[in-house]
Structure 1
Amino acid sequence: MGDAPNDQGRAGALRPAAPRPGPFFGWRVVGAAFIVAVFAWGVGFYGPSVFLHALHAERGWPVWLISAAITCHFLLSALIVARLPALHRRFGLVAVTRAGGIAAGLGALAWALAPVPWLLFPAALISGAGWAATSTAAINAMVAPWFERRRPAALSMAYNGASIGGVVFSPLWAMLIAGLGFAAAAAIIGAAMALCLWWLAGRYFQRTPEALGLRPDGEEAGAAGAAAKDGEEGRRSLAADNAAWRDRRFATLSIGFALGLFAQIGLIAHLFSLLVPAMGEAGAGAAMSLFTGCAVLGRLLLGAMLPAGADRRIAAALNFAVQIAGSLMLLASGGTSVPLLLAGCVFFGLGVGNLVSLPPLIAQTEFARADVARVVALVTAVNQAAFAFAPAVFGALRDLAGGNTTSMLAAALVQVAAAAVVLAARRTRA
């Protein structure tokens, strides 16, 4: 009898320990979505500006005509993005992502092989379809099912691939085009994107939390169920797509961020030329790298510091305020003060990435769970349709004013309007 406890203790010591659960699979999905974003933005967002320079320098085609094809690239993408949730429901996330990778690669090759300028427009149809299937709304569709409470951090990490895509692919495109030619560069990068996304989609996007017996955020079933129930309180279903603009939440979310991205893309398109007179080309390039690094930092700070119950529209307004401060610093520099130019790059850059990640986070708190993907897709479509024209409008302002002063001031004013619109539909809180 007295030895029984010792025997039990020895038996317990010899009994193998229960296997420890592995890391939550959702974070692997985030890593895969990050790589998709690197390719998507590197080819579909930053790529066209490199295409413009290469085609104009090598073939002497008019800048306005190449720019018109780039606008078509983004406008067609906006049309497809609006239907992306329906495509995911019909064909599945894996098939659509794989098709997007192939389309983006073939589109880049079509841009490079176009023998006459008018063939850039069919090429833009292909590349635009690839961009639509792999960019903002697609990344949200990959990550959102796996996270509820920790979605701000998860989306921030995934969307940081967009900034890394600019850092990696802009010089990579330039190096490969200079060494191998435009066609070979497009073939190499396009094939790499298609193959990588094909594998990632099958390996990580074919699974769902339910199929693996998991809950969002890796929480216990009871805790997840309670969190889901609490999260649905106060949310209303979105009306049909054709009546969405009557919903004040949707209208203010779409218009506010469309204005913000219009100002952001328009300013970025001319930022390098603003920096060159005071800093030289090498200094301007370094400042643009600092700018991109701040975009990554801003996303990480938002994902880490945004409280679960915070009003995300206020967070968006504060983000606009930071960018307004950056715009005013650039304006105050007069194009000659290096400290003010660098400060403007830092402040404006801190808010750049969050204009992509904040709309899905606001939609998460204001719309029924079943409607979030549709809301994000529609908002993304509106945003892309708006910012497609931003470089041309800011270029016209610059030419009319004979300098960057008017465009910097316009960026600040448009962002003030964006903040006001976003705050117009704040949720009523107890």
Structure 2
Amino acid sequence: MAAAGSGFYGWRVVGAAFVLATFGWGIGFYGPPIYLHAVQEARPWPLWLVSAAATLHFLSGALAVANLPRLYRRFGVPAVTRAGAVLLAVGVLGWAVAAEPWQLMLATLASGVGWVAMGAAAINAILQPWFVRRRPAALAMAYNGASVGGILFQPLWVAAIAAFGFAQAATLVGLAMILAVWVMAGSVLARTPRDLGQVADGGGDPAPPVPPAPAGWRPWGDRRFRTLASAMALGLFAQIGLLAHLFSLLVPAIGAAAAGIAMAAATAAAIAGRTLVGWLMPPGADRRRVAAASYAVQMLGGVLLLLADGTATSLLVPGVLLVGAGIGNATSLPPLIAQAEFPPEQVGRVVALIVALAQAAYAFAPAAFGLLREPGAAAAPLLFAAAVAVQALAIAALLAGGRRQDRGQSASR
């Protein structure tokens, strides 16, 4: 066991959370579109049915993530994390070997429930005891594992399925994930600051206190919660709906190879954007306004994509990069807003609920945006315009729950 004087252990927890996010998003978030294609190639099932499996994967995860705080209290973070890794691995294998549609749906329930134990709410809960004042930087570093997961696992899945077949690829990747998560859960995640005689952030000036919640506090009765949940759901709905179709919309203009490079560049921009905000955001900054600015950057990217009209490369490339710059912040900033606006004892519950609602919303985003690409429609302009409009609604929701309302609520207490 590490001694108290051997350095602040919280940064080791950040490293473990980074690896956890890499596996979680690489297998549970970026994987389903690839699984969908593999299943469609192997089974004579209609596209709508296989697409419904991907939607069920994210919906089942939304129900599970809302209950994460309760599971952590009852079983502890290490046990829940290990169980999530096993369920995710078994679920993905189920995608591969399902011989009947009902078996596929059952597999998606397991994979959807499993991956949220390594998703956004889980990462926030793991870091919460270790960081208060420096949580923006810690979350930024840990959540960057999500982007790395997309960079690593998407080509890995494609190559592994082509080389070994879906079932064997799922087995190999699943076993590697279970082994890594099992070891980390027991050796890193099982420790708390109290175990090591440490305090949050490794010491230093404490973060400004947040007033306690009134007796009988309910999330839906709090304007700040409603606006934050709405903003996250709208922002991720727009973002994921756009990203699900962006590659295929870029191919006619710049070719498949260049479109692939552009999508990789968007992921790199996501890492850069999240890291810069996490490290440079001042301690007293209005985090809602920071999040609104991030959505505004993505909106500008959407406007450039709209103006490019599918041909102007000089507008397409910066448009993709601007959209990418806000991808990471859409996940990492809402938990930071919750930390600043809600008492510590409520933050875990608030984050779990807003992530669950957002996931339930964005589960339908690819299909909803796909309707704009029906034959006869002006696909790209409508899709880009819809993304910009929904992001504008997300900004409006963020600003509607800002500090003016907070002061009024605090006075009423």
Give the TM-score taking structure 1 as reference length. Answer: 0.91
Q: Is 1:171 paired with 2:155?
A: yes
- Show the counterpart of 1:154: 138
- Show the counterpart of 2:39: 55
Q: Is 1:114 paired with 2:78?
A: no
Q: Structure 1 CA distance, aligned partners of 2:288 and 2:267?
A: 24
Q: Which amino acid in the other structure matches residue 201 of structure 1? A: A
CA contact (8 A) 1:237 1:367 kept: no
Q: CA deviation at 1:132?
A: 1.8
Q: Secondary structure at the match of 1:148?
A: coil
Q: CA deviation at 1:135?
A: 0.6
CA contact (8 A) 2:24 2:116 kept: no
Q: CA deviation at 1:339?
A: 1.8
- Greater shift, 153-162 or 108-117, is seen at 108-117
Rg larger in structure: 1
Aligned-pair Cα RMSD in Å: 1.6
Q: Structure 1 CA distance, aligned partners of 2:230 and 2:4?
A: 48
Q: CA deviation at 1:237?
A: 5.2
335, 351, 354: which one pairs with 2:326?
A: 351
Q: CA deviation at 1:61?
A: 2.5
Q: CA deviation at 1:57?
A: 1.9
- Show the counterpart of 1:231: 209
- Show the counterpart of 2:20: 36
Q: Secondary structure at the match of 1:307?
A: coil
Q: Which amino acid in the other structure matches residue 162 of structure 2? A: A
Q: CA deviation at 1:235?
A: 5.4
1:286-342 Cα deviation digits (max 9, x unpaired) = 001001000000110111110101000000110110000011111111111112111
CA contact (8 A) 1:235 1:365 kept: no
Q: Secondary structure at the match of 1:378?
A: helix
| Percentage identity across paired residues of the two chains | 54
Q: Structure 1 CA distance, aligned partners of 2:191 and 2:56?
A: 34
Q: Which amino acid in the other structure matches residue 231 of structure 1? A: P
Q: Secondary structure at the match of 2:35?
A: helix
Q: Secondary structure at the match of 1:211?
A: coil
307, 328, 339: which one pairs with 2:314?
A: 339
- Show the counterpart of 1:413: 389
Q: Which amino acid in the other structure matches residue 244 of structure 1? A: P
Q: Is 1:281 paired with 2:256?
A: yes
52, 57, 81: which one pairs with 2:65?
A: 81
Q: CA deviation at 1:270?
A: 0.3
- Show the counterpart of 1:6: none
- Show the counterpart of 1:376: 351
- Greater shift, 277-286 or 20-29, is seen at 20-29
Change (3 A) 1:239 1:45: farther
Q: Structure 1 CA distance, aligned partners of 2:379 and 2:193?
A: 53
Q: CA deviation at 1:250?
A: 0.4
Q: CA deviation at 1:59?
A: 2.5
Q: Structure 2 CA distance, aligned partners of 1:321 and 1:74?
A: 26
Q: Structure 2 CA distance, aligned partners of 1:200 and 1:290?
A: 30
Change (3 A) 1:161 1:33: same
Q: CA deviation at 1:405?
A: 1.0
1:228-274 Cα deviation digits (max 9, x unpaired) = 5x323x4535955xx42121010000001100000000000000011
Q: CA deviation at 1:21?
A: 3.6
Q: Structure 2 CA distance, aligned partners of 1:131 and 1:146?
A: 23
Report 1:262-411 matches (<5 A).
262-399=237-374, 401-411=377-387
98, 104, 107: which one pairs with 2:88?
A: 104
State the aligned residue count.
403
70, 84, 96: which one pairs with 2:54?
A: 70
Change (3 A) 1:141 1:65: same
Q: Structure 1 CA distance, aligned partners of 2:109 and 2:22?
A: 21
Q: Which amino acid in the other structure matches residue 406 of structure 1? A: L
- Show the counterpart of 1:426: 402
Q: Which amino acid in the other structure matches residue 236 of structure 1? A: A
Q: Which runs of 5+ in 2 are unaligned?
A: 408-413
- Greater shift, 344-353 or 53-62, is seen at 53-62
Q: Structure 2 CA distance, aligned partners of 1:125 and 1:238?
A: 36
Q: Which amino acid in the other structure matches residue 223 of structure 2? A: R
Q: Structure 2 CA distance, aligned partners of 1:239 and 1:161?
A: 37
Q: Structure 2 CA distance, aligned partners of 1:95 and 1:265?
A: 31
Q: Which runs of 5+ in 1 are unaligned?
A: 1-18
Q: Structure 2 CA distance, aligned partners of 1:352 and 1:20?
A: 37
Q: Which amino acid in the other structure matches residue 198 of structure 2? A: L
Q: Which amino acid in the other structure matches residue 426 of structure 1? A: G
Q: CA deviation at 1:63?
A: 1.7
Q: Which amino acid in the other structure matches residue 250 of structure 1? A: F
Q: Structure 2 CA distance, aligned partners of 1:112 and 1:76?
A: 19
- Show the counterpart of 1:219: 203
Q: CA deviation at 1:20?
A: 10
Q: Secondary structure at the match of 1:352?
A: coil
Q: Structure 2 CA distance, aligned partners of 1:380 and 1:178?
A: 34
